[in-house]
């Protein structure tokens, strides 16, 4: 019984009386406020008329009754009994001031009408004492309950970088929780340093490491806009030095869309890219898709779903979702419906595979599709290496069938999502992407109804099955974090950048184009793994001393993987576009007879279930086409100097 009562007591204290029924909480607060009013009247009367009750004027007792009734009504009208005892804000204090002014006015009128003396002084005195009592009692309750919650819950210490509007709002939200206590702000603004905001000190970033260690801060919340990428990077570096976990506030657009208060998020793809996100906003993108019927294959995947979300902003007439996974299709359909209704965009989900010609013909014809964004593919390198026949059947022959149906049905644009693994491919997945490019380039030479284009980019951080979610899950499990090779590097981009690049390709396409994005320098996978561990508030385990939290294990390159990736075959054959960060690659292609021979050989090998032959043919053609004829594109200015893409 004692243990149960103790648990109830703690629960009430931790929740700030909110675990009690609302009527009980309001009754307690109302009783407390009435007691404050009685004390206010008593103190005022003593102050004006002396201590002995027998010399108080009789009308003073009528003032007690009238003021108590009026006070109870005022407390109810101003909803003072509904102020939650977890924080006392400026608006709460202002509400109490208004209520106290009303009580003072009623006390003055009652005393004056009753013929009492010093009515003005009575009103002022009661108002001042009431305001002090109502505010002080609540401030004391908040302080006591907050301290008790801290003792009982052992809240983690949190600091916030950025004492602007977002940071202050985050501090207010965190102070209401039972899990975190804001120890201080860090801010570059020297006029704020040394001051306090809501009782929380503002420190200089130069003192970050020492303050974090002195106050035992476990987490640093970064409340800076995404545009301040360089500042965010410097803060992350300091956090690595201090060994503190990093969390981020969502950007202002996310807050407006969600309609919620600040919600912390962990490290994501944008925080790991040591470069500015590429701005891919151009007017021609919207003009290309507005009012059109657009089909997205692989609509439930990482790239496909982001494409659909971004397409809504351009208000197409209809988005046709095509995916072979029922669950993925259901998920993206449900995710889009609400926004689609707001934008007046029709959403049509279809189950099917790109290898089924009849299904493709039915969907494209019935929906009168005008643009196809082709993101359906088997993309995981080891998985395709272990399923050679299905990988080729889906990625190569599926793309061919979809492209043929697009031409037959009069689709105006066809954009293929390709990969940097298509350049000098080592594995089968890259080979299937390169051959898909070659097929579309060949079809472009014999067709002028449909504009084919390809978009080639590196790894998409945060996509399903990619490195980032794998590393996060491994860190959460305590390690080890598996890295293929200490020297392995990749080009990385966010899913938002990748999807916008696909949309831009449709706007820039002239026919047979291969687009690549300037993605900066390739990044070390090992360095990203270390940074992710450190930004999670942990330390990389030293293999010799054994000190640290999370081990990094090297597992070797998997079948089909390269140590370093490339985005193009020859830097001298890059052409500029309307965007300074996007280039068009003029590359070698196969003749119609060579493509037909390639597909015939692959089909024979598939029919015989000869995986070795399938792999040999695909890799042979994909690697050996660089010296064949080039697709004629002369409408751009070539980029002569070698670029690091």
How far lies 279's CA from each of 171, 203, 428, 460, in Å?
31, 33, 33, 16
The label of the residue with tokens 């890259």 reads 430
Where is 47: in which H helix or E strand? helix 22-49
pLDDT reading at 409 higher than 70: yes
Options 211, 245, 400, 421, the catalytic residue: 421
Predicted confidence at residue 346, as pLDDT, reads 95
For residue 329, pLDDT beyond 90? yes
pLDDT at 65 over 80: no
pLDDT for res 330: 94
Task: Give the up-direction half-sphere exposure of residue 356: CA atoms within 13 A in the CB hemisphere.
Answer: 14
What are the two backbone dihedrals, phi and then psi, of residue 634, each rounded to the nearest 5 degrees? -125, 15
Give the integer Cα–Cα distance in Å for 533 and 471: 9
d(CA 50, CA 348): 83
Per-residue model confidence (pLDDT) at position 420: 82
Edge-to-edge strands, sheet with 219-222: 196-197, 200-203, 180-186, 156-161, 219-222, 245-248
Residue 10 catalytic?
Answer: no
| pLDDT > 90? residue 331 | yes
Once rounded to an integer, what is the mean pLDDT over residues 19-27?
Answer: 61
242 neighbors 212 (Cβ within 8 angstroms): yes
Instruction: Return d(Cα 282, Cα 303) in angstroms, integer.
Output: 20
Query: CA angle 87-90-95, nearest 5°?
Result: 100
Percent of the chain with pLDDT over 70: 72
The residue with tokens 């019984």 is 1
Q: Provide the pLDDT for residue 438.
A: 92
Higher-pLDDT residue of 494 and 273 is 494
| Higher pLDDT among residues 264 and 324, named by residue | 324
Question: Among 31, 495, 501, which Cα is nearest to 305's?
Answer: 495
For residue 303, the SS3 value is helix
Which CA distances in Å does 590 have to 391, 593, 630? 21, 8, 8
What's the Cα-to-Cα distance from 106 to each of 32, 47, 80, rounded to whole Å? 20, 19, 18
In this structure, which CATH number among 3.90.1150.10, 3.50.50.60, 3.40.50.720, 3.40.50.300 belongs to the domain 291-459+493-520+566-639? Answer: 3.40.50.720
Class of the CATH domain delimited by 155-266: alpha beta
pLDDT of 616 higher than 80: yes
Tell me the Cα Rg of the chain.
Answer: 34
**Confidence (pLDDT) at 265:** 47
- The answer to whether 498 and 504 are in contact (CB under 8 A) is no
Mean pLDDT, to the nearest integer, of 217-225?
Answer: 79
Q: Which of 425, 378, 388 is nearest to 611 (CA)?
A: 388
Q: Closest Cα partner for 66 from 98, 32, 111, 29?
A: 111
Domain extent listing, the chain: 2-151, 155-266, 291-459+493-520+566-639
- The per-residue pLDDT for 388 is 93
Q: Is 4's pLDDT higher than 60?
A: no
Question: Is the CB of residue 344 less than 8 Å from the CB of residue 312?
Answer: no
Determine the pLDDT at residue 69.
74
Q: What is the pLDDT of residue 364?
A: 97
Q: Is the pLDDT of residue 176 over 70?
A: no
* Predicted pLDDT at 255: 35
pLDDT band, very low/low/confident/very high, at 145 (cuts 50, 70, 90): low
Tracing tokens 């960060």 back to the chain, one arrives at 581
What is the model's pLDDT at position 269?
52
Rounded average pLDDT over 352-371: 96
Chain segment 291-325, per-residue pLDDT in tens: 999 999 999 998 899 999 999 988 999 999 999 99
Judge whether 539 and 548 are in contact, CB under 8 Å.
yes
Q: Per mean pLDDT, which range of 104-108, 420-424, 480-484 is the poorest?
A: 104-108
* Selected residue with higher pLDDT from 443 and 218: 443
User: Is the separation of the CB atoms in 454 and 415 below 8 Å?
Assistant: yes
Q: Which of 21-30, 51-60, 369-378 has the lowest mean pLDDT?
A: 51-60
pLDDT at 538 over 50: yes
Q: 3-state SS of 447-459?
A: CCCCEEEEEECCE
- Residue 83, pLDDT score: 58
* CA distance linking residue 329 with residue 498, whole number of Å: 20
Confidence of residue 147 (pLDDT cuts 50, 70, 90): low
Nearest CA among 155, 187, 160, 156 for reference residue 171: 160
CB-based contact 628:591 (threshold 8 Å): yes
pLDDT digits (tens, 9 = 90+) for 365-393: 999 999 999 999 998 888 999 999 999 99
Residue 494: is the preceding peptide bond cis (ω within 30°)? no
291-459+493-520+566-639: same fold as 155-266?
Answer: yes
pLDDT at 543: 81
- Taking all residues of the chain, what is their mean pLDDT, rounded to a whole number? 77
């Amino acid at each position: 019984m004692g243990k149960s009562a103790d648990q109830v007591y703690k629960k009430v204290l931790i929740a700030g009386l909110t675990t009690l029924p609302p009527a009980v909480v309001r009754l307690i607060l109302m009783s407390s406020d009435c007691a404050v009013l009685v004390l206010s009247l008593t103190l005022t009367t003593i102050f004006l008329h002396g201590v002995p009750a027998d010399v108080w004027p009789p009308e003073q007792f009528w003032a007690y009754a009238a003021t108590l009734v009026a006070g109870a009504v005022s407390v109810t009208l101003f909803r003072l009994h509904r102020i939650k005892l977890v924080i006392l804000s400026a608006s709460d204090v202002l509400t109490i001031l208004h209520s106290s002014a009303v009580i003072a006015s009623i006390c003055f009128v009652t005393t004056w009408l009753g013929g009492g003396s010093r009515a003005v002084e009575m009103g002022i005195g009661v108002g001042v004492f009431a305001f002090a009592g109502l505010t002080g009692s609540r401030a004391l309750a908040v302080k006591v309950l907050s301290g008790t919650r801290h003792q009982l819950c052992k809240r983690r210490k949190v600091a916030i970088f950025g004492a602007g509007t977002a940071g202050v709002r985050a501090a207010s939200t965190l102070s209401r929780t039972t899990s975190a206590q804001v120890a201080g702000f860090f801010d570059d603004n020297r006029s704020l340093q040394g001051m306090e905001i809501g009782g929380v000190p503002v420190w200089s970033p130069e003192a970050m490491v020492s303050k974090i260690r002195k106050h035992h801060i476990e987490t640093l919340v970064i409340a800076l806009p995404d545009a301040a990428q360089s500042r965010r990077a410097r803060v992350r570096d300091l956090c690595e030095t201090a060994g503190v976990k990093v969390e981020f506030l969502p950007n202002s657009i996310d807050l407006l869309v969600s309609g919620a208060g600040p919600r912390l998020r962990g490290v994501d793809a944008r925080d790991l890219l040591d470069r500015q996100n590429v701005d891919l906003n151009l007017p021609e993108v919207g003009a290309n898709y507005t009012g059109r019927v657009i089909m997205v294959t692989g609509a439930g995947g990482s790239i496909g779903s982001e494409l659909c979300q971004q397409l809504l902003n351009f208000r197409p007439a209809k988005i046709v979702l095509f995916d072979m996974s029922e669950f993925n299709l259901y998920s993206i359909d449900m995710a889009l419906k609400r926004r689609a209704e707001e934008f007046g965009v029709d959403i049509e989900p279809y189950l099917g595979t790109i290898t089924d010609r009849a299904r493709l013909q039915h969907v494209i014809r019935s929906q009168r599709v005008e643009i196809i964004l082709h993101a359906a593919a088997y993309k995981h390198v080891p998985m395709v290496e272990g399923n050679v026949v299905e990988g080729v059947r889906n990625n190569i022959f599926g793309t061919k069938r979809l492209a043929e149906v697009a031409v037959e049905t009069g689709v105006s644009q066809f954009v293929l999502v390709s990969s940097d693994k298509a350049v000098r491919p080592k594995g089968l997945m890259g080979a299937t992407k390169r051959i898909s490019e070659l097929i579309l380039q060949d079809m472009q030479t014999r067709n002028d109804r449909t504009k084919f284009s390809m978009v080639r980019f590196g790894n998409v951080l945060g996509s399903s099955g990619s490195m980032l979610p794998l590393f996060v899950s491994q860190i959460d499990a305590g390690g080890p974090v598996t890295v293929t090779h200490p020297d392995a590097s990749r080009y990385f981009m966010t899913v938002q950048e990748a999807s916008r690049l696909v949309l831009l390709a449709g706007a820039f396409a002239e026919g047979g184009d291969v687009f690549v994005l300037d993605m900066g320098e390739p990044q070390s996978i090992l360095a990203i793994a270390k940074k992710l561990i450190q930004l999670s508030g942990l330390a990389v385990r030293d293999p010799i001393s054994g000190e640290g939290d999370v081990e990094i294990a090297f597992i070797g390159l998997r079948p089909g993987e390269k140590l370093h990736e490339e985005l193009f075959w020859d830097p001298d054959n890059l052409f500029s576009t309307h965007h300074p960060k996007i280039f068009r690659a003029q590359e070698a292609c196969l003749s119609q007879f060579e493509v037909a021979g390639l597909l015939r050989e692959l089909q024979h090998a598939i029919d015989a279930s000869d995986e070795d032959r399938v792999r040999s043919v695909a890799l042979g053609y994909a690697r050996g086409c660089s010296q064949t004829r080039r697709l004629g594109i002369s409408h751009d200015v070539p980029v002569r100097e070698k670029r690091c893409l």
